[in-house]
Structure 1
Amino acid sequence: MSRPGRLAVGIVGAGRVGAVLGAALRQAEHDVVAASGVSEESLARIDALLPGVPVMDPEAVVRAADLVLLTVPDDSIAAVSAGLASLGAWRGGQIVVHTSGRLGTEALADAQGAGAMALAIHPAMTFTGTSLDLTRMTGAAFAVSGPAPLLPIAQALAVEMGGEPLVLDDRDRPAYHAALVHGANHVVTAVSQAGGILARLGIEEPGRVLGPLVHASVDGALGEAPGAVTTLTGPVVRGDAGTVAAHVAALRGQDEALFAYRAMARATADLALSGGRIGPAQYADIIAALGAEG
């Protein structure tokens, strides 16, 4: 016998996020009744993460579900919501959730206009689209937004999927998402560029060189208050303009890495100056050593 309050869940867009969240809700004993997917990758995810769940077109998924996960790309959410509304697929009392970090519930205006209850729930985690994600989501923050009377539903769903709900106003979601992208995606870019530089020097396993240092640096930064520079190390916070100049010279011809190095070194210098790690004269020397961009 099913637990009380269990919902019929439909997934529109069984990409890396949708299929995993559907599997998490299934583990919480909700009934995943349908999923949509077109690509071979999506169909394979449904088969692997949601075995036995029928594949239907988006309209049929919505009509079959009490809770719809609208897990399509950010720029498609409003259009898909509107298209389904034009087909009369949404109904009163239905719950519809999108998982964009940037957008609020305004993206689901057409579903709301048809009487559906709209929520935005974004897990602050990177997804592989495999069962590995079910473990990685445990304890992750889930940014939840929606009308105040509906927030307890969003919070309960986040908890059932293994997350820790973080309530955000719709208007704050773009800044929240920018912070996550800058702190996670851009770190991957920087590490990838650093690995490329080491590989060009003939170092066969750049990850072994970078790993301990990167982990220690990130762990230290995560333990500090925003804007703190206690754990910040390196030539910029030492005021070592000569080393910075040597780095710039060594990176000439590697335009992407040089551009990123200059931008992040300037930001580091700003942080070090405001945190009292370097003085105005050292700051000026660092900026001069970085030289002109372009």
Structure 2
Amino acid sequence: MNSTKPGRLGIGVIGAGKVGAVLGAALRAAGHAVVGVSAVSEDSRERAELLLPGVPVLEIPDIAERAELVLLAVPDDALPELVAGLAETGAWQPGQLIAHTSGRHGVDVLAPARAKGAIGLAIHPAMTFTGMSLDLTRLTDCAFGVTAPATMLPIAQALVVEMGGEPIVIEEQDRPLYHAALAHASNHLVTIAAQSAQLLRSAGVERPDRLLSALMRASLENALAAGEAALTGPVARGDVGTVLAHRQALLDYELEHTGTDIRQTYEELARATAKRALARGRLKEGQAAQILDILNPQTPPKEEK
């Protein structure tokens, strides 16, 4: 195992997916030496060639043997088996650093490697990745959920800072909740945008992104800056007639487009919005009751009064 200069690490990247290749490139830019990368699919090989030019594509055991820091960038469900399997073959080395990028897991998942004397770190970037070089600029000021034993936490934090990110300490037991929050904010935002675009296309809008772009960006910025004080729209205003018209339009749409999930999504989120607006005094009890009645899946369609 070799380092290029004092304080620098020989890093091996297991998983040249969108996350692994980008983080490997970021650590390389910080002065570390990437000694090997695993890449099985054609896409991952192309990604490794683009973001980690000159780095040899190696088998996973060879990477574990050569690297001082092994970066595990594999799917959450694959991580336990990978760590345990390498432990069984004696691949992990005493004093070796192992950092994974899973949001769901902390360092307990690395227990088989830690039992062999390795040091476990969890560094999860709170960002969506394209697997392209533009991700490297997005890492600047990106928050990372970091979990590590107290004595090793500074190492994990330093790695994140070197990549341009901001380390946020997450306790081991809080990792699933932390990850659920990020998935709810990021993944479901994509679903909502896709559903809204689908409705707009059905309404004859050729470029839904032109209508949604400024609206969604402003809503997100306002929500992050002001929290639920930024809430607006017919539910928060108690516009019962508008909510009724929305539901009827979505019911009609559902009859024409079988298998759609948009009405159910709208109703669930509108119910949650109404309850939160009521709890915070933004909505009167009578208005909330009417809206929740309209949004009840068992409530038949009504004519707007």
Q: CA deviation at 1:279?
A: 1.2
Q: CA deviation at 1:212?
A: 1.1
Q: CA deviation at 1:137?
A: 1.1
**1:13 matched to 2:12:** no
Q: CA deviation at 1:2?
A: 4.3
Structure 1 unaligned regions, length at least 5: none
Aligned residues: 291
Secondary structure in 2 matching 1:17: helix
Q: Give the aligned partner of residue 182 of structure 1.
A: 184
**1:273 matched to 2:272:** no
Relative to the length of structure 1, the TM-score reads 0.97
Counterpart AA for 2:84: A
Structure 2 unaligned regions, length at least 5: 300-305
Cα contact 2:4–2:33 (8 A) shared by 1? no
Q: CA deviation at 1:291?
A: 2.9
How far apart, CA to CA, are the structure 2 residues paired with 1:258 and 1:16?
A: 33
Over 3 Å counting, the alpha-carbon distance change for 1:106 and 1:235 in structure 2 is: same
Q: Give the aligned partner of residue 194 of structure 2.
A: 192
Counterpart AA for 2:71: L
Q: CA deviation at 1:3?
A: 3.9
Q: Give the aligned partner of residue 210 of structure 1.
A: 212
How far apart, CA to CA, are the structure 1 residues paired with 2:121 and 2:298?
A: 43
How far apart, CA to CA, are the structure 2 residues paired with 1:74 and 1:181?
A: 13
How far apart, CA to CA, are the structure 2 residues paired with 1:98 and 1:82?
A: 14
Q: CA deviation at 1:132?
A: 0.8
1:142-153 alignment, distance < 5 Å: 142-153=144-155
Relative to the length of structure 2, the TM-score reads 0.93
**1:258 matched to 2:260:** no
Q: CA deviation at 1:249?
A: 0.8
Counterpart AA for 2:247: V
1:127-142 alignment, distance < 5 Å: 127-142=129-144
1:1-294 alignment, distance < 5 Å: 2-225=4-227, 229-252=228-251, 253=254, 255-292=260-297
How far apart, CA to CA, are the structure 2 residues paired with 1:285 and 1:172?
A: 37
Q: CA deviation at 1:244?
A: 0.7
Counterpart AA for 1:265: A
Secondary structure in 2 matching 1:51: coil
Q: Give the aligned partner of residue 302 of structure 2.
A: none
Q: CA deviation at 1:72?
A: 0.9
Cα contact 2:22–2:133 (8 A) shared by 1? yes
Q: CA deviation at 1:257?
A: 0.5
Q: CA deviation at 1:67?
A: 0.1
Secondary structure in 1 matching 2:145: strand
Secondary structure in 1 matching 2:230: coil
How far apart, CA to CA, are the structure 2 residues paired with 1:293 and 1:224?
A: 35
Segments of 4+ moved more than 6 angstroms = none
How far apart, CA to CA, are the structure 1 residues paired with 2:135 and 2:298?
A: 40
Cα contact 1:78–1:109 (8 A) shared by 2? no
- Deviation by residue 1:118-158 (Cα, 9 ceiling, x = unmatched): 00000000000110110011101111101000000000000
Counterpart AA for 1:84: L
Q: CA deviation at 1:293?
A: 5.6
How far apart, CA to CA, are the structure 2 residues paired with 1:293 and 1:69?
A: 50
Over 3 Å counting, the alpha-carbon distance change for 1:160 and 1:293 in structure 2 is: farther
How far apart, CA to CA, are the structure 1 residues paired with 2:233 and 2:102?
A: 36
